[in-house]
Amino acid sequence: MDNRIKIIQGDITRQEVDAVVNAANTSLLGGGGVDGAIHRAAGPELLEETSQIGGCPTGESRSSRGYRLPAKWVIHTVGPVWLGGERNEDNLLASCYQTCFRLARELGVRSIAFPAISTGVYRFPLQRSAKIALLETKKELEKESPLEKIVFVCFSDVVLKTYQDSYGEIFRP
Ligand code: AR6
């Protein structure tokens, strides 16, 4: 068990953390789902900033300020579209978490909130994604991480239950 990890049900735009992660697309120009919610809550300055970034490849991440969000930073990551599992989807999703953690270190972030990247419009299987999210987090926390709190914000009770079960498997003492 690792008490730096919190698994909650809620809305990521309300999280009082240093950085929230956005499940964006390669344009970084906004969209639906959690991306739309973050842009609405942060205000139009967020789009002004992300439109200057010039996009982001799948599996990578870019940072911006959080504007009207409680979070100081938004880390935009581009998850893979699920295409059946033979198109490097697992590694690309793992890379999202790795690159978010790398940026978090660079920004001096001590608390970060993640949504279930790729599990909405991009249709990545939920259980498989939760395992990847928690395994990458375990690896990060084993590296003397500056992170004090990692929140997995689950939008529905199904997502919450899946993360709780995966946490039990991966962090079993
Ligand atoms: N807080 C936390 N989680 C949320 C919220 C919220 N406010 N809203 C939705 N979720 P999705 P993807 C959950 O579709 O699959 C966008 O259009 C949702 O229930 O937001 O990575 C982008 O622009 C699901 O579990 O992201 C891209 O084009 C999870 O967040 C594309 O969708 C991710 O669902 C990215 O697709």
- H or E element that contains 75: strand 73-78
The arithmetic mean of pLDDT across residues 34-51, rounded, is 98
Instruction: Determine the pLDDT at residue 162.
Output: 98
SS3 112: strand
Q: How many structural domains is the chain composed of?
A: 1
Q: Does 173 have pLDDT greater than 80? A: no
Name the band, by pLDDT with cuts 50, 70 and 90, for residue 49: very high
- H or E element that contains 135: helix 126-141
What domain range is 90 assigned to? 5-170
From 8, 34, 127, 129, mutation site for ligand 1 pocket: most ligand atoms within 8 A of C-beta: 34
Q: CATH number, domain at 70?
A: 3.40.220.10
Enumerate helices (H) and strands (E) in the chain, giving the number of each.
5, 6
157 classed as catalytic: no
Instruction: Determine the pLDDT at residue 1.
Output: 85
Instruction: Determine the pLDDT at residue 172.
Output: 84
Percent of the chain past pLDDT 90, that is, above it, reads 97
